[in-house]
Amino acid sequence: MRNDCIFCAIADGEIPSFKVYEDDLVLAYLDINPFAKGHVLVIPKLHSQGLLDTDDETLSAVVVRVKRIAAHVKEVLGCDGFHVLQNNGEAAGQTVRHVHFHIVPRWTGDPLNFVNHKGDMDELAALAERLRM
């Protein structure tokens, strides 16, 4: 596994994922322990640990894709809004040391919490198919 990084292993195809978007620079896939239905992780394929050590060109490419993917998720799922979250360092809740963005769909009346729930693999596979761009 490259850099002993689980996200690099996912980007390299060593670990399977529920992909919803991929190009030469960026990969987006469903979180298997989502905060909400349709919770997508967006990562650069190039490894960097956090926002501050990600080069500007890579960061710009990722953010443009985050916008495009969030719009697609909102359209397909019909959610009322979404969060875009990006954590840096353990104190901020970053558990994987590879820069990444969370797109978390929200519906009016949802309780505001960020608790992971074990995802159902069959449901995630079906949802990934609906969200694939």
Q: Is the dihedral of CA 54, 56, 61, 62 positive or negative?
A: positive
Strands 26-30 and 19-22: antiparallel
Q: Which one of the listed residues 83, 100, 102, 117 is annotated catalytic?
A: 100
Query: How far is 125 from 130, CA to CA, in rounded Å?
Result: 9
100 is catalytic: yes
As to burial, measured by CB atoms within 10 angstroms (0-12 exposed, 13-18 middle, 19+ buried), residue 46 is: middle
List active site positions: 100
